[in-house]
A = this chain, B = another copy of it.
Amino acid sequence: MMTKPFITPTIPQGQFVAKQWQCPIDSHDTDGFTAFHAETAQPLPPFFYQASLAELALAGHAARDAARWYSQQSGQLRADLLNAIADELSDCPHLLARLQLETGLALARLQAELQRTTGQLRAFAASIATPTSRHVAATDSTPALWQLDWPLGPVAVFAASNFPLAFSVAGGDTAAALAAGCPVIVKAHPAHPGGSALTMLAIERAMQRLAIPVALVQLLQSSDPSFSHAVAGHPAIAAVSFTGSKTAGLALAQTCQQRPIPIPCFGELGAVNPQVVLTTLSQTQRQGLADSAFQAITGSGGQLCTKPGLWLIPAGAAGDALVAELVERIDNFAGATLLGPSYLARYESLSMQRSAQSLLIAQGHAAANRACGRLWSAEAATVLASTDAWWQQEIFGPCAQIIRYQQTSELVQLFAQLEGQLAVSLHGELTDDAPWLERLAELCGRLLYNQLPTGVLVHPYMMHGGPFPASTNPQHSAVGLAAMRRFVRPLCIQAASLADAQRLALALQVQPTLKNSS
């Protein structure tokens, strides 16, 4: 019964709860896990303690207190906090190096992701800094009505493995929740616990700089899936955001729904993002497409939820040429380090299954602990005759499935069988006769024309999400400023006069600027 010393003093091994780094002191403190060196598959020190249910209870309590305090703060304070987090994140000397070890992602990619992450934080800050930004609308009709955005309460953010910055501890979900006025409890992804703890330290410094008196952001580390359900089921949690696998996301959504008080679960569950190559694709387009497709399939080790994992390519010489160019590139691909040994193992196992279902037509260089590029191809007729939808299963890694179609009627049948997608692209020239186009719009959150779906822009018009099972709520985007809408609800204030309504709003400490529009 004693406090264990930190093995690596710079990386806290415990939970950040109620403004403190918790050190487990009871007999459960031997329960824990490590990250793995993505390139060597060796365990990476330090040892991280599994968060306990007692720590979760403490975090829930602190988050509730924080919610009350935070909902009364000005937009300016929220903006200051988001900017301070961005500042601190930009000044974490060991963060990217640690994440390189834990995720195997290239330094350049992590640098770009850090830029994106701080950019997101600053964009949310800019959108809420002005007094009107609480989205207060008022009318002096009789009775007077106001509407404002009310924060839902503490949000549980389940971090993703594949974006250890942009969709992790200080990622888009955390930024959106803080901008919306909600405290955050992050359940860190067990594939990068060290990077998560270092990010939490940066947020802690930002909160200290602003003398935030409450537990606005807390961090729980666990490699135990049942703990995630305990978090989502905790009564203090008012909403869940999740980025990850379909299996894990759907289970979490079910937990959220089956609580005594159900809460919304915004799960972004991935997709195969079909790429429809039209017969009108020109030769010039083809060359460019082969290059960009190769990049999109293999970039970040093919571990993006927007990876174009399914290619519908016409039969015939032009289609053959495109396939040949893709095969050549994949055959020469040097392989990729995946996010961790378990990712590689799963990639190999799913690849083996796929090779039993479809013809392996390209395979890149094999190297120890690296995933080699792979392409499979099947005829549309064969796919359409199969009894299960193996061709729609997402495989995380540098690979893609090709389906060759003979005629538009086969395409239409494939479209009918496709499930909800984050994105669908068309490649080639659209002709006026495309009655099947609406089915594609029905299927996805983003429809692209001669564009690859990777490289999701952080923009107000972006939609990152899509019909089930691409997400658990297609009415919201996980990227862009609209992501904030997930964590607020409308509250109407009604009074006999605008002056009375203002009186009530002041008592609520809402401090709005009136806007007399209807």
Binds B, one of A98-106, A143-151, A324-332, A348-356: A143-151
Query: Can you list, as one digit per residue, whether each of A216-239 has a CB less than 8 Å from chain B (1) or not (0)?
Result: 000000000000000000000000
Select which of B253, B447, B467, B493 is within 8 A of A493 by beta carbon. B447
User: Does A139 reach chain B (CB closer than 8 Å)?
Assistant: yes
Chain B proximity of A207: nearest CB distance (Å): 22
Alpha-carbon distance A197/B138, docked complex (angstroms): 39
Alpha-carbon distance A432/B71, docked complex (angstroms): 18
Contact A461 B492 (CB under 8 A): yes
Contact A438 B262 (CB under 8 A): no
Contact B441 A463 (CB under 8 A): no
Residues of B within 8 A of A507 (CB): 430, 432, 434, 437
Query: Can you list, as one digit per residue, whether each of A184-199 has a CB less than 8 Å from chain B (1) or not (0)?
Result: 0000000000000000
User: Does A109 reach chain B (CB closer than 8 Å)?
Assistant: no
Query: Can you list, as one digit per residue, whether each of A164-191 has a CB less than 8 Å from chain B (1) or not (0)?
Result: 0000000000000000000000000000
Residues of B within 8 A of A462 (CB): 145, 147, 492
Residues of B within 8 A of A474 (CB): 152, 489
Contact A463 B492 (CB under 8 A): yes
Query: Can you list, as one digit per residue, whether each of A116-155 has a CB less than 8 Å from chain B (1) or not (0)?
Result: 0000000000000000000001110101011100101100
Select which of B262, B449, B482 is within 8 A of A494 by beta carbon. B449
Residues of B within 8 A of A503 (CB): 430, 449
Contact B500 A490 (CB under 8 A): no
Chain B proximity of A105: nearest CB distance (Å): 24
Contact A468 B262 (CB under 8 A): yes
Contact B145 A459 (CB under 8 A): yes
Residues of B within 8 A of A488 (CB): 475
User: Does A491 reach chain B (CB closer than 8 Å)?
Assistant: yes
Considering only residues 458-503 of chain A, those with a C-beta below 8 Å from chain B are 459-463, 465, 467-469, 472-475, 477, 482, 485, 488-496, 500-501, 503
Alpha-carbon distance A459/B444, docked complex (angstroms): 32
Q: Which of A432, A489, A495 has the most CB of B within 10 A?
A: A489
Copy count, this protein chain: 2
Q: Which of A264, A465, A473, A474 has the most CB of B within 10 A?
A: A474
Contact B463 A508 (CB under 8 A): no
Alpha-carbon distance A430/B264, docked complex (angstroms): 33
Residues of B within 8 A of A143 (CB): 451, 457
Residues of B within 8 A of A485 (CB): 475
Contact B490 A475 (CB under 8 A): yes
User: Does A261 reach chain B (CB closer than 8 Å)?
Assistant: yes
Q: A446-B491, A468-B262 are in contact. Are A141 and B459 (CB under 8 A)?
A: yes
Contact A491 B441 (CB under 8 A): yes
Residues of B within 8 A of A138 (CB): 461
Contact A463 B147 (CB under 8 A): yes
Chain B proximity of A499: nearest CB distance (Å): 10
User: Does A450 reach chain B (CB closer than 8 Å)?
Assistant: yes
Contact B147 A504 (CB under 8 A): no
Alpha-carbon distance A484/B68, docked complex (angstroms): 31
Q: Can you show 15 pairs from A to B with CB atoms below 8 A apart?
A: A68-B438, A139-B459, A141-B459, A145-B459, A150-B442, A253-B262, A261-B468, A434-B507, A438-B508, A441-B491, A445-B490, A445-B492, A449-B501, A462-B492, A475-B485
Residues of chain A having any CB pair with chain B under 8 Å? 68, 71-72, 137-139, 141, 143, 145-147, 150, 152-153, 253-254, 257, 261-262, 264, 420, 426, 430, 432, 434, 437-438, 441-442, 444-451, 457, 459-463, 465, 467-469, 472-475, 477, 482, 485, 488-496, 500-501, 503-504, 507-509, 518
Known: A145-B459, A445-B490, A448-B494. 18 other contacts (CB 8 A): A139-B459, A141-B459, A145-B457, A145-B461, A253-B262, A261-B420, A262-B472, A264-B475, A438-B508, A446-B491, A446-B492, A449-B493, A449-B503, A450-B500, A463-B491, A463-B492, A474-B489, A482-B490
